[in-house]
Structure 1
Amino acid sequence: MAGTLHAKSVANAARSLWDELPGLRVELLNGTIIVSPVPDGPHQLTRSGIPVYVVVDRRHDEVQVLTDPVVGDYRTRSVYRRGQSFGPPASVGIQFELSVARVLDGGDG
């Protein structure tokens, strides 16, 4: 139980840093929080005009879809979990849906 509580408090601290330090990478590796500049992350993609950035986070069992780029960041972050589907926003001009489970598992079916 103590290990679970510690893991949750470290994860909460990492999430707080993520919120407080936009534009930086916040990683949680073996119980250690590492904050560093993102070499090729969303802030670079916004400069290139990439309208949608999808993050497949297998460690947290979720898919994040970042949209509405502004200089250095995305204004909208939507999180999808197993049992849900996601697709690009209408502004992209195409419509499709992908199963979160299929993307996380890398499956063909």
Structure 2
Amino acid sequence: MFKLVTKLTPRGDQQKAINLLTQGIKKGLRHQVLLGVTGSGKTFTIANVIANVQRPTLVIAPNKTLAAQLYSELKKFFPYNAVEYFVSYYDYYQPEAYIPQTDTYIQK
């Protein structure tokens, strides 16, 4: 059971977004977008949706800084649930490769 712990309450359009996103998930919509400026409460909104739908959730961030920020905030919102953090270091991995157009071999 996902238990959201916060003293915050939804403000402005957040409750509408929470309701629409929750309904969309329950209807089986595969793609939805939550759009908001920095500091508009997107993480809080998503935390409410997670609490509403009671399903394990994978949150993917485009960079390591945002991933760390999301982890920290979600850990506070869900202190009694498993909130994990994984960062891929794929950008540091250099596989061996061959480029046939230039007959170039790149070692590991």
| TM-score, length-scaled by structure 1 | 0.29
- Choose between structure 1 and 2 for higher RCO, CA contacts under 8 A separated by at least 6 residues: 2
- Structure with the largest fraction of strand: 1
- Structure with the largest fraction of helix: 2
